[in-house]
Structure 1
Amino acid sequence: MDCHDDTSELEHYKDLALKLETVIEFSTDGIYVVDSNGVTVLVNRAYEEMTGYKKSDLVGKNVFDLTEKGYFDRSISKLVFKEKKQLSIVQKIGNEEKLGEKKEVVVTGSPVFDEHGDLSLIVISVSDITEISKMKRELTKAMETAELNSHRFAVHTEFEKNQTIVFRSPQMKQVYEKIQQVAPFPTSILLSGPSGVGKEMLTNLIHHFSDRKEKPLIKINCGAIPENLLESELFGYEKGSFTGARLEGKAGLLELADEGTIMLDEIGEMPLALQVKLLRVIQEKQVRRIGGNKTKDLDIRIISVTNKNLEELVKQGQFREDLYYRLNVVSIDVPPLAERPEDVRELLQYFFSYFSKKYHIQKEAAEETVRYLMSYHWPGNVRELRNMVENLIVSVSEKILEPYHLPFRITQVEQGTNEVTLKSMVQNYEKKIIMEALQKNNSLRQAAKELGIHHTTLVKKLQAWKM
């Protein structure tokens, strides 16, 4: 090959490289290329416009150093270097001073290998999904609003996984709307209601709707901790303040909840001596550790939770009146499940779906079973309903849950009445015994023999029950 041919081929590659650079430059996706050492070698115009960063800020700089300086919240290059394959992640990037916010982007890193199989380059493509994410959040909000307007609602909290509040009743809609109204303000809230209605989940919801959602939500059960320990848990202590204290001292939960929210569960169980100290903390907005003489400024929201009537406790002298009024700035009463039967069907549907997915078992309740459950008064409220559904899902082998699978306390109530009838009690008990026998034996004849009846009698009973 002569010199002229070499020159032509070189010119051809230069022209091709120029065209390729032009294509990259005018791509609507951001393009970011790093070499085998993680040094930025190319950034296109779309990336500049998307992030607010200039090429001069990035080219020649190592992506690991740029990540540490906050240019990206995490590095796709680091992951590709490690895995040696194409990977995608969601990042938050961008110059906040210039753009006003970080951009949410999908980043795909693709490794390029040389002829020896060694990693030569990583080509990173970046797609802006900020607006799509905003639209998704707005759509979710609109759907939730639509559900609320149609009197069925489910709200998910980010604080705890697998916590969903489901309701249809006007009483719970009123509770939810009140929470939405008061949550943004730092006022103290008193949540009252019987055990099992979901007061802790509503506390999570209040925190979730407040401007403190990124700050701590600390929970303490005032009735489950002995009085001497409760004081040290709440207020903390300095080193050597009492026998058994840590040498380095300990911060109390009130102190740890600074700028956030503290939930005082079973507040009615708090000893009077501690009520005085808590009142002082609320009034002075300061806390002092046991054995200490320094005070710390405190900015906390207090959510008190009780299943007792605090007004009655005040009259009986078991709860301080001044503390009661400090805690009861906003009062939210959560009604028992028996007073909102509209919610029972919604909760049953939700928990059957939830536990079926959780345990990878498809189960559903027969309509007659649902009617029994709707008639039951649920003294244990939502907690009892949830536990019962979970028990049915895991302990019953059949896919369709019939009334005879239900606990006796539920089936003893005749449909449409509040009276126990001997007929319904006997029939459900009979069904339960027969089904247990059928599950243990391989044939109707064997089951009938175990039951001590003729197999034709057993067949007639099953036919009458449409089983």
Structure 2
Amino acid sequence: MKEKQKNFDENEVMLHSLKDDILVTNLDGTILKVTDTTSSIYDIKPDDLLGRSVYDLEQEGVFTPIITPLVLKTKEKQTIVQSTHNGKKLLVTGVPVCDQDGKLWRVVSYSHDITELMKMKSYFLEMQDEMDRVKNELKRLRNQNFNNDGIITKDREMERCLMVASQVAEVDVNVLLLGESGVGKTQLAKYIHNQSPRKNKPFIEVNCGAIPHSLFEAEFFGYEGGSFSGASSNGKMGLVELAEGGTLFLDEIGELSLEHQVKVLKFIQEKSFYRVGGTKVRKVDFRLISATNQPLETLVDEKRFRKDLYYRLNVIPITIPPLRERSVDIMLLIKHFLDLFSRKHNRERELDEAVMQQLLNNEWKGNVRELMNLIERIVVTSPSPIISIQDLPDAYVNETNGHAPSNHGQQPLKETLKQVEKRLLLEAKQNYKTTTEVARRLGISQPSVVRKFKEYGIK
């Protein structure tokens, strides 16, 4: 043992020359050696540490937890994070030291101050929480924007359309919106505009089918004063000039004559034009969105629509599904329009179950526009707060469709509503993988979905 003590004493000078935090204890936890760095970390003089028990120091709150008992128990190197009485965080490593007979003799520990690292970790965790909060807020605002733009949906295919629209909104690429009349092409065009960098500039809608053929150029490109009979002496700015910096939306593009298609194509390609009767070339900066309910490819084959214009428009096509294929959305839209027009006309109205069933079963050939117009009509014309089947127009009372359940006046209303509910649940289950997703799409709770699946034997 004297030889061991001698060797240790010979290394004492080397020990104190180190700038690291080193502490040596015996098997009882009594501190035998400390460096000056160790005492400065704990804000205690070396003499006040020497001979003290690490167990006592832990009880006094100088540092915790202590590493000596861990090393004694495992007889292996151990590392822990230690807190000190002065608020520091230390990464402490304890190493077992054996004598010449291989028996555990001392425990040597050294540490690194990681206080700043721990603060940074805490900061990053807080930042992560904040980022999650911001993501959720952006998601909420995104959904709110859908509603603000008149687009209300939980249908998967419609949400896919919105996702594509959101992606292409960021860049000035030509978009062609396809779909039946009344599906919401104009609303989707406005949504793209409102999500784009041009959102603070004009959104100019041109209904190509509503402008008389003889007046199209004058309305579209504008005209110089006195250029034709009846023209204003001061001239007039065209719709395309009003779109400067913003979005030009050409609705019902399929209605353009071949003569006007040529001029619109040249305008789209060059983004320049002449007013009617003018000689000055005018430039305009705009983003183009077009829409049609006609099959343009068929029109191209029939030589009624220019192929070059078709390809110019059809860079990013987005096909909006008809309302009859969005059964999940019908109930949402009914509730939305009922609330909207009740507030607009200051008439609180509700639908009884028979009316709701009839509306859910309708084909809605006019899509969202037809549904909106009908709801406003019955809100205004119904004589009582509860809208009954007698308040519906005859066309909607008598109309049936191919996929709706029919009772022919023999099946109780309650059973018919159950059939409708089961059909909606089956369609949702086919489209969505989890009951949570089904619940979100249908606007009910997840336990309700599970209960209804069990009730209807849906697996």
TM-score w.r.t. the length of structure 1 is: 0.56
Work out whether 1:312 is the aligned partner of 2:309.
no
Structure-1 separation of matches of 2:303 and 2:402: 44
After alignment, is 240-249 or 178-187 more displaced? 240-249
Work out whether 1:225 is the aligned partner of 2:216.
no
Which among 306, 320, 326 is matched to residue 340 of structure 1?
326
Pairwise CA distance, 1:226: 1.3
Q: Name the structure 1 match of 2:365.
A: 379
Which among 136, 140, 143 is matched to residue 140 of structure 2?
143
SS in 1 for 2:317: strand
Provide, for residues 9-33 of structure 1, a one-character-per-residue CA deviation record: whole Å limited to 9, x for no partner.
xxxxxxxxxxxxxxxxxxxxxxxxx
Contact 2:250 2:289 in 1 (8 A): yes
Amino acid at match of 2:375: V
Amino acid at match of 2:342: S
Work out whether 1:323 is the aligned partner of 2:280.
no
**Number of residues paired by the alignment?**
282
Pairwise CA distance, 1:352: 1.1
Identity of aligned residues (%): 42
Contact 1:255 1:287 in 2 (8 A): no
Work out whether 1:274 is the aligned partner of 2:260.
yes
Work out whether 1:406 is the aligned partner of 2:406.
no
Compared CA separation, residues 144 and 375, structure 1 to 2 (3 A): farther
Q: Name the structure 2 match of 1:89.
A: none
Pairwise CA distance, 1:421: 6.7
Which among 325, 339, 361 is matched to residue 353 of structure 1?
339
Structure 1 unmatched runs, 5+: 1-134, 158-162, 428-467
Pairwise CA distance, 1:179: 0.8
Work out whether 1:364 is the aligned partner of 2:317.
no
After alignment, is 217-226 or 340-349 more displaced? 217-226
Pairwise CA distance, 1:181: 0.5
Compared CA separation, residues 267 and 416, structure 1 to 2 (3 A): closer
Contact 1:268 1:306 in 2 (8 A): yes
SS in 2 for 1:225: coil
Provide, for residues 389-448 of structure 1, a one-character-per-residue CA deviation record: whole Å limited to 9, x for no partner.
1111121122222333323333335699658776379x9xxxxxxxxxxxxxxxxxxxxx
Provide, for residues 169-203 of structure 1, a one-character-per-residue CA deviation record: whole Å limited to 9, x for no partner.
11110111111000111111111111111111111
Amino acid at match of 1:400: I
Work out whether 1:155 is the aligned partner of 2:141.
no
Work out whether 1:208 is the aligned partner of 2:194.
yes
Compared CA separation, residues 378 and 424, structure 1 to 2 (3 A): farther
Provide, for residues 81-117 of structure 1, a one-character-per-residue CA deviation record: whole Å limited to 9, x for no partner.
xxxxxxxxxxxxxxxxxxxxxxxxxxxxxxxxxxxxx
Structure-1 separation of matches of 2:282 and 2:244: 10
Structure-2 separation of matches of 1:369 and 1:249: 54
Pairwise CA distance, 1:137: 9.4
Contact 1:412 1:424 in 2 (8 A): no
Contact 2:178 2:291 in 1 (8 A): yes
Pairing of 1:22-61 with structure 2 (within 5 A): none
Q: Name the structure 2 match of 1:184.
A: 170
SS in 2 for 1:155: helix
Contact 1:175 1:334 in 2 (8 A): yes
Structure-2 separation of matches of 1:365 and 1:225: 39
After alignment, is 176-185 or 294-303 more displaced? 294-303
Compared CA separation, residues 191 and 408, structure 1 to 2 (3 A): same
Compared CA separation, residues 289 and 312, structure 1 to 2 (3 A): same
Structure-1 separation of matches of 2:346 and 2:326: 30
Backbone CA RMSD of aligned residues = 2.8
Structure 2 unmatched runs, 5+: 1-131, 414-459
Pairwise CA distance, 1:342: 0.8
Contact 1:375 1:416 in 2 (8 A): no
Compared CA separation, residues 154 and 393, structure 1 to 2 (3 A): farther
Provide, for residues 113-149 of structure 1, a one-character-per-residue CA deviation record: whole Å limited to 9, x for no partner.
xxxxxxxxxxxxxxxxxxxxxx99987533256xx6x
Compared CA separation, residues 239 and 416, structure 1 to 2 (3 A): closer
Compared CA separation, residues 307 and 424, structure 1 to 2 (3 A): farther
Compared CA separation, residues 136 and 320, structure 1 to 2 (3 A): same
Contact 1:154 1:167 in 2 (8 A): no
Structure possessing the higher radius of gyration over alpha carbons: 2
SS in 2 for 1:176: helix
Pairwise CA distance, 1:232: 0.8
Q: Name the structure 1 match of 2:233.
A: 247
Pairwise CA distance, 1:228: 1.8
Contact 2:176 2:289 in 1 (8 A): yes
SS in 2 for 1:174: helix
